[in-house]
Amino acid sequence: MTNQAFFGDPTDVQTAAVGGSLTLRGPEAHHAAAVKRVRPGEEIDVLDGEGHRLSCTVVEATHGAVVVTVDRLSFDSPPAMRLVLVQALAKGDRAELAVEAATELGVDAVLPWQADRSIVRWRAEKAIKGRTKWESLVRAASKQSRRARVPEVLDALDTKGLGHWLGGVQHPVVLHEEASESLAEYWGRSTLATSETLAVIVGPEGGISPEELGVLANAGAVPAQLGTNVLRASTAGPAAIAVLNHLAGRW
């Protein structure tokens, strides 16, 4: 069984040495000691969110400070292919559920999309609060799934902005029920090189409008489907990430 994971100060984690000590403070110390109830002698991992992982032994655990000894150092290299989920804003917590699950499944970045048919609207201060909430979600989901790299949360974009952004993406795919090929078929005919990005675009509960499909197509996005069933906005993105993880050999 893998060790429970907690985030440390990035500088402390990156400069740590085997045999040295490190102290978790603040909310992470409280979460480790009061919520997860780690105790002296227990092994835990301390992460920086950028790929560095310290395997440690707990020496002291209080609500204000958890002191550990560093036993091993490791580094999770960035994946050869960058997977990005472009998730349309959706009502309730469906978009957030998608982001959380995609993080656990290994997505490398998420981008909030203000689609034409999105009921939820992020404007001005709400956009800042929304992004902050998504950043908190991916950090918590990363810790829960014990991954050393926290996905990046990109700025929210409307459809026009998304079209411009896709200009820098080598492999944009838009999930659509009327697509003529499956995601697996798209993968089979595509040639993906190292360090390239594959972006999966998921619409809101009301679907993607014909006008938006035109904008995305002009930006190079290829329609693909995940089978005959129509999936919820909270399900489609994580399902696509799982399929791509398998096809790419990441699992």
Residue 246's contacts (CB-CB under 8 Å, 6 or more residues apart) are: none
Among the listed residues 98, 69, 81, 122, the one whose alpha carbon sits nearest the alpha carbon of residue 203: 98
So what's the pLDDT on residue 79?
A: 87
So what's the pLDDT on residue 37?
A: 95
Give the integer Cα–Cα distance in Å for 119 and 117. 6
Residue 195 to residues 11, 83, 102, 170, Cα–Cα distance (Å): 26, 10, 20, 10
Backbone torsions φ then ψ of 179, nearest 5 degrees: -65, 150
Instruction: Please determine, for residue 104, whether its predicted confidence score (pLDDT) is greater than 80.
Output: yes
DSSP conformation letters of 41-57: T-EEEEE-SBSEEEEEE
State pLDDT tens for residues 48-103.
Answer: 999 999 999 999 999 889 999 999 999 999 888 899 999 999 888 899 999 999 99
Between 123 and 226, name the one with better pLDDT. Answer: 226
Among the listed residues 149, 145, 147, the one whose alpha carbon sits nearest the alpha carbon of residue 78: 149
Question: If pLDDT is split at 50, 70 and 90, which confidence band does 191 have?
Answer: confident
State pLDDT tens for residues 27-55.
Answer: 999 999 999 999 999 999 999 999 999 99
So what's the pLDDT on residue 121?
A: 82
Instruction: Please determine, for residue 195, whether its predicted confidence score (pLDDT) is greater than 80.
Output: no
Residue 56 to residues 13, 77, 99, 152, Cα–Cα distance (Å): 11, 20, 29, 26
Task: Yes or no: say if 119 and 91 are a contact pair by the CB < 8 Å rule.
Answer: yes
Question: If pLDDT is split at 50, 70 and 90, which confidence band does 141 have?
Answer: very high
Structure tokens, 137: 């979600």
| DSSP structural state of residue 33 | I
State pLDDT tens for residues 198-250.
Answer: 999 999 988 899 999 999 999 999 999 998 888 888 999 999 999 999 988 88
Instruction: Please determine, for residue 169, whether its predicted confidence score (pLDDT) is greater than 70.
Output: yes
Can you say how many angstroms the Cα of residue 167 is from the centroid of all Cα atoms in its chain?
A: 21
So what's the pLDDT on residue 193?
A: 67
Q: Tell me which H or E stretch contains 86.
A: strand 82-88
Give the integer Cα–Cα distance in Å for 211 and 140. 36
So what's the pLDDT on residue 1?
A: 67
So what's the pLDDT on residue 44?
A: 96
